[in-house]
Structure 1
Amino acid sequence: MAITTVNTDPNARPRNGVDRYFKISERSSTFGREVRGGIATFLAMSYIIVLNPLVLSGPDAAGNTLGIPQVASITALLAGITTIAMGLWARHPFALAAGLGINAFLAVTIATTPNLTWPEVMGLVVLAGLVMVVLVATGFRQAVFNAVPEALKTGIVVGIGLFIALIGLVNAGFVRRLPDAAGTTVPVGLGTGGELNGWPVLVFVIGLLVTAILVTRKVRGAILIGIVVATVLANILEAVFHVGASSADNPLGWSLVAPSLEGWSAPDLSLLGEVSLFGAFTSLGPVIASLLVFAILLSVFFDAMGTSVGIAREAGNVDEQGNIPHLNRVLMVDALAVSAGGAGSGSANQIFVESGTGVGEGARTGFASIITGVLFLVAMFLTPLIHLVPFEAVAPALVVVGFMMVTQAVHIDWSDWGAALPAFLTFILMPFTYSIANGIGAGMIAYAVIRTGQGRAREVHPLLWVVAAAFVLYFGLGVFRGIFGLE
């Protein structure tokens, strides 16, 4: 099976020490591409500074909240620090921030558990990260990575591409949940009421067409130019028509925040260290608390693995066997970022799929991550600038990058149904369940079972059986919650 690798040139002469350290010339990149890629990734991810506080805004069992300004500040700080660490040490163009799947899981499922407070919830996140650090240090996490069949790895790349594209379409309001004639709901539909209307959707469509034309014409900086064009258009439309943010009374508004320059406020970092490491074990008991740690661990464990595989392959930063250089460093930074997110009460930090936007712009090294990280740190003090770029302006870039990643599907051997069907489940369930981990879990279970049914169980790596069993437990977590009275 063919593997996409970067056109590296080990004999390329580095321009200076920075070039040599990050292998910019060796990976056939330039400082200009890395800077553009870093900026594009930041613009594609900056919404998390606004969205993460909203997701974590609910009260815990005691009625206490974390505070939106505090979570916003800590979100930007941790995204900056962990992304810079990834760039400096692992030297890959991966950016990290509070993971959307896990923060929703914390807010909707874990924080609503009786007798559990936010410091105790974040203590569970810290513990999950520390367990993952041990798994990385012992080589277990990389061993699991290496045990994944080639078809599933390719399926992960394709799935992340579909997932990124769906995020873009949903963020832009191009795809929405629609009511049907019976008054129930169908999963998704076109626009609002089955029609495309509203200025934000127009911004998305124009941005997508501009980006697509520039990319197909191989214009340097195509994705970044597309984001800037859409951002300028969005701000003009908001200034003229006062569209406003989307709400029940304004369904055609901007999906998160209206483009604007709001007032400045100093960052509030008071949540740092507000965590109870073992409080949940006292409040809930060791069995229930351990189950919750396991659920968090399994989600962040495979989300990061899937994202790093997808982005590294799209960047061409893999060898002939499909292995990622410095993979253990990537996994260690990711594990530490999970604990750091819990310690700061900002939720687990993870590698973001939007890093693919920077890769699509040409980023190939950790230098791009440093640019992204620095911009996040600056954003702590210049939060009004975040509001200039609405979701609809970034969404076209996500759709185009998703297309680039989905093209990897040609490398799957579709004649081998025992591998192709699990790969199909892997990439189709990522967007359909809005979870990278769900897609990986379904693919691994299917691969182990189908290969066994074919009489080819010896082709299933022993670790894959372990992981498949863990995912069976993960998918059945609702049953265990009922058994232990957590419903």
Structure 2
Amino acid sequence: MSLPERLFQLQQHGSNVRTELLAGLTTFLTMSYIVFVNPEILGTTGMDPGAVFVATCLAAAIGTTVMALAANFPVGMAPGMGLNAFFAFTVVGASGLPWQQALAAVFISGLVFLALSLVGARAWLVAGIPASLRAAIVAGIGLFLAIIALQKSGVIIANPDTLVTLGALNTPPPLLALGGFLLIAVLEARKVRGAILIGILAVTAAGWLIGDVKYQGLVSLPPSLAPTFLQLDLPGLLHHDGGAPVAVLLQVVLVFVLVEVFDATGTLYGVAGRAGLLKLPGAGRRFGRALLADSSAIIAGSLLGTSSTTAFAESASGVQAGGRTGLTALVVAALFLAALLFSPLAAMVPGYATAPALLFVAGLMLRELVDVVWDDLTEAVPAALCALAMPFTYSIANGLAFGFIAYAALKLGTGRWREAHPAVWLVAGLFVLRFAVE
């Protein structure tokens, strides 16, 4: 029996080495855009982009390897979209925490996430949150990413009278960003693998052709990880006077945990179900290992110097290509390690080249709104408030707070309080406490 067969039970899953290799390549191409987007986003906090690039690749490789060997799932992992934006623009930008303390908050959320997974509370929490609110959270994060993308590209700009207005579309950044967005959409519609990556590289190349991007080479040894490695400031975060106020710490950790729980758990269920893995013998045990791998990856990422690592929904592309085992994930991990050599290319990518990727992912996330129960106002109103508050208050945390508090209040006010799961009352109460002690 070959080593791949012993490790991944390929025959039992109806797969073979060639199929798994192709599936791994497919998954990597669809999620590799994160190695360009994540350093650009986290770089706005003052973090060294080169170090973040290395941390992103290593966190993705470590998390995906653990997923492959521990759970035997064809799921790729990397720092998540939405979570990196919350880290950069809300935790560091709006709340004012140094990025070192923000990394400490990610570390704490990883420990909480791990504890929830070990005691089974993670499944209780996911099952307790109403479908309408879960859909609104995903859609709201999408809207948050959209406004960031439109700002970064100059498509929208500040206006003293209307807050925002249309930017100068006759200048290169917004033109190239919108062109890149349309290119990605066309390629995705034509089922081209790696459409988002192609879009980023095409806009970067266009920027180079017009002299807006300086060529720095394609391949070199990876930058130093030292500027972010083990730089999390846990004492500073926990110290009441010199660190984060209680309200800020509560909000940050709570939001990280909630988004991690919904995003990662939903992705794992979706990808594993699509691959038919939930029907196999021992599926429950393997899924539990996948949850632990997911939780551990968050902790590892915070130590390396990046925002929360999570399971990527793009893994479904590899499943569509036939991936059924952890060998698919192992290929993804190996390719993320190989990506370490392309740091000069990552350093060349301008903000308006990553904006199309953000905007396209945002559009995909809005599809979740179809799962809101629009015929029931006690479901629809909190969901709408949750989704709208995220971009308009520039905070995922505020959107979550408004959504959960409104849901609890409407169920209570209409005499239907028994319909609200205890998890809803718990989360709503924590957000009320956050506002009360702020």
Corresponding residue SS for 2:162: strand
Corresponding residue SS for 2:163: strand
| Superposed CA RMSD | 4.3
Shift of 1:155: 2.5
The AA in structure 2 aligned to 1:131 is V
Task: Tell me which of 244, 259, 262 is aligned to 1:303.
Answer: 259
Tell me the residue number matched to 1:452.
Answer: 412
Superposed CA offset, 1:18-39 (max 9, x none): 584996869xx97545422322
Superposed CA offset, 1:44-97 (max 9, x none): 44222344244144xxxxxxxxx6654554344234323443455453645322
> What does 1:224-373 align with in structure 2 at a 5 Å threshold?
224-225=194-195, 227-228=197-198, 231-232=201-202, 234-235=204-205, 237-244=206-213, 260-261=216-217, 264=220, 266-270=222-226, 272-274=229-231, 277-278=234-235, 281=238, 283-284=239-240, 293-308=249-264, 311=267, 317=273, 328-329=288-289, 331-344=291-304, 346-351=305-310, 355-356=312-313, 359=316, 370-373=330-333
Distance 1:408 1:33 in 2: 26
Any unmatched runs of 5+ in structure 2?
none
Is 1:422 matched up with 2:395? no
Shift of 1:243: 1.8
Is 1:146 matched up with 2:117? no
Is 1:188 matched up with 2:164? yes
When the two structures are aligned, how many residues end up with a matched partner?
Answer: 418
Is 1:467 matched up with 2:427? yes
Task: Tell me which of 144, 151, 154 is aligned to 1:173.
Answer: 154
Distance of aligned partners of 1:225 and 1:78 in 2 relative to their CA distance in 1, 3 Å threshold: closer
Going by fraction, where is helix more abundant, 1 or 2?
Answer: 2
Tell me the residue number matched to 1:208.
Answer: 181
Distance 2:121 2:366 in 1: 29
Is 1:385 matched up with 2:345? yes
Distance of aligned partners of 1:24 and 1:468 in 2 relative to their CA distance in 1, 3 Å threshold: farther
TM normalised by structure 1 equals 0.70
Matched-pair contact (CA < 8 Å) for 1:304–1:334: no
Corresponding residue SS for 1:178: strand
Distance of aligned partners of 1:171 and 1:220 in 2 relative to their CA distance in 1, 3 Å threshold: same
Superposed CA offset, 1:293-325 (max 9, x none): 4333212101213333665687694799x9x98
Distance 1:51 1:462 in 2: 36
Matched-pair contact (CA < 8 Å) for 1:259–1:390: no
Superposed CA offset, 1:219-259 (max 9, x none): 3325x246426623541x33432124xxxxxxxxxxxxx66
Task: Tell me which of 115, 121, 126 is aligned to 1:134.
Answer: 115
Distance 1:185 1:369 in 2: 50
